[in-house]
A and B are shown apart, each in its own frame.
Chain A
């Protein structure tokens, strides 16, 4: 049939269809108040943790000591004290008594004293003054730990939490939007218009872009926060790990998104989404708990960093701890990318087989069967 008054339809290409679908997903997300609020809270928490960290580290002000005469040269060398000069030993003692200084350092009357100074305090020997002015032997550590254990713990848990939160938030969003289309039956119109793969790809792409944007903004915010609050040293340590985390997250999330979409497509009602997607939720929570319990176990971390579900957390932690060779993240990324492709293929099969089955939950066997 030809009718010249009709506009010529140019079939949208696969890519165009995917792009249209993903744009709708993004627009729908940006319009949802719950999404905006959740994102705001996540950003506030990340920002807050940087600021709190900075305040904690600046809290160590210099100890005030009163110094008399020749002792000043010894005290100045350490550069660890706020120095108040006193004219006499008695004057220094008075300052200690009234609490305006924590301790006084005076020339020693005992000629045997190796440093030639005496430390005067009010009631107990002050550890910091005492320790700083004590001569200690040089210590040579053969295998120095790259990172402080507690800091490593914090960084590991930070990656774990961000991965867990982003993956579950956006995973649940994808699952809901799949079931929304199925429940409202608009999926039938969509399926009669574009291919099921384009629909799935568009949903995964749109939500992955949003999740990735969230991760990148958290990363930027934390980096800027660290720089502004003067924690440049920490930034230099964490920076590369954050970048790798973002890269791994991009792939890892696509994998999870495809799983969420496929499992959600097996049910027909929003009430059933939770139970249908719970196996995926376990997959997301495993790396979180692993990293909480095993962040000081290099073997477990090494395994984690290659298993596709936990690599987005495991590999950045290992990079931060300098446990990974340069090629390891690349290899792990290839493993992750390949498994993502496999999961997308299986997922799109489940998705297209289950989409039109309304009512009772579709069993996995039925969904995989042609």
Chain B
């Protein structure tokens, strides 16, 4: 488990992170969401030890992370970059060896990854000769080539076509399924919504929301329900503790003061006739995000 505790960072008088704390659990895909300049990249750099915080610590399973632990991380920086004039495979082997792999296992991992990411045919090309999408795949390979135990990925999906997004999603999900904590940031909230188990929302250098996706949705759910029945729903207006927000013949949206009041509506609807849908309105991630950072 990756534990970020009370991390604060300022550049001069400008505070970019204040008391940032959250955890990335084993096997949890954790989405890290925030506006531009909210502090995502700075937080990730601090986790990786590229930057040092003014206060706070990063713990692995309760033990402060040391420079030697860095080799256990797979890191994909926001600003992409590999050596342009170096061949893809050669570059991956080099990075794997810097992380402490033997030459043989570095080569084996490189071949495996290129295969999984569909880059085998480009292995001997220089990075600068690759298309942007393939450069992005090579970048992901660079983050994974040393069999990391933790993944910290800054915008891993930006610049990928939908097909590549699927490939990368499945690779990352595979890592999480093996028990690795995975922290990734993204502006594409729909992807985060599909992929993440946990969610951390940051704004102006402060963590605004943090928890499992479902718990957050629960928290930000309004007491608002929608119902669609076979007949007219006009009777709902006369139910106690209910305010109708929207009404259109067989369809109604209403707010209930209590759970019991909403259940009473459902009971009555069933006695009147068929009920096609009855559900509490769940906010989308985008809605939660807007609400949280507002």
Contacts and interface: CB of A to CB of B under 8 A. Distances in A.
Given A1-B180, A3-B149, A11-B71, A24 B94 contact: yes
A183 B82 CA distance: 10
Given A6-B149, A9-B146, A12-B98, A184 B84 contact: yes
A189 B94 contact: no
Contacts of B95: 189, 193
A188 B81 contact: yes
A3 B48 contact: no
Interface stretch (B99-107, B115-123, B259-267): B99-107
B53 to A, nearest CB: 14
Given A189-B75, A192-B48, A1 B149 contact: yes
B80 interface: yes
B99 A193 contact: yes
A191 interface: yes
B68 A11 contact: yes
A28 B75 CA distance: 24
A349 to B, nearest CB: 14
Nearest to B79: A185
Given A20-B97, A193-B98, A184 B86 contact: no
A20 to B, nearest CB: 6
B75 A184 contact: no
A28 B79 contact: no
Interface string A168-187: 00000000000011011111
A6 B71 CA distance: 13
Given A188-B81, A192-B48, A9 B101 contact: yes
Contact of A189 (B67, B142, B147): B142
A187 B100 CA distance: 18
B208 interface: no
A119 interface: no
Contacts of B79: 185, 188, 358
Contact of A1 (B61, B94, B99): B61
Query: Which 7 A-B residue pairs are closest in the complex by CB-CB distance?
Result: A185-B81, A184-B81, A185-B79, A188-B77, A192-B48, A186-B81, A9-B100
A7 interface: yes
Contacts of A12: 71, 97-100
28 contacts: A1-B1, A1-B149, A7-B147, A9-B71, A9-B147, A11-B68, A12-B71, A12-B97, A17-B98, A28-B83, A28-B86, A181-B83, A183-B81, A184-B84, A185-B81, A186-B82, A186-B83, A188-B45, A189-B75, A189-B77, A189-B142, A190-B98, A192-B50, A192-B75, A193-B95, A193-B99, A195-B67, A356-B45
B94 A188 contact: no
The bracket for how many chain A residues form the interface is: 20 to 34
A33 to B, nearest CB: 11
Contacts of B67: 195
A11 to B, nearest CB: 5
B84 A188 contact: no
A188 B44 CA distance: 11
B35 interface: no
A180 B105 contact: no
A1 B101 contact: no
Contacts of B72: 9
Given A20-B98, A180-B84, A188-B50, 6 more contacts: A12-B71, A12-B97, A12-B100, A28-B83, A187-B81, A191-B50
A7 B51 CA distance: 28
B179 A1 contact: yes
Interface in B57-84: 61, 67-68, 70-73, 75, 77, 79-84
A10 interface: yes
A192 B84 contact: no
Given A188-B77, A188-B81, A9 B45 contact: no
Nearest to A182: B81
B85 interface: yes
Nearest to A192: B48
A194 B98 contact: yes
Nearest to B149: A1
A181 B99 CA distance: 18
Nearest to B69: A11
Contacts of B26: 1
Contacts of A9: 71-72, 99-101, 146-147
B188 interface: no
B178 interface: yes
Contacts of B48: 192
A17 to B, nearest CB: 7
A369 to B, nearest CB: 10
- Tell which of A12, A20, A31, A358 has the most Cβ of chain B within 10 Å: A12
B49 interface: yes
A281 to B, nearest CB: 25
B6 to A, nearest CB: 21
B94 A20 contact: yes
Contacts of B83: 28, 180-181, 184, 186
Interface in A191-237: 191-195
B28 to A, nearest CB: 12
A356 B100 contact: no
Contacts of A195: 67
B71 A28 contact: no
B80 A185 contact: yes
B139 to A, nearest CB: 9
A262 B71 CA distance: 25
A282 to B, nearest CB: 30
Contacts of B101: 7, 9
Contacts of B75: 188-189, 192
Contacts of B100: 9-12
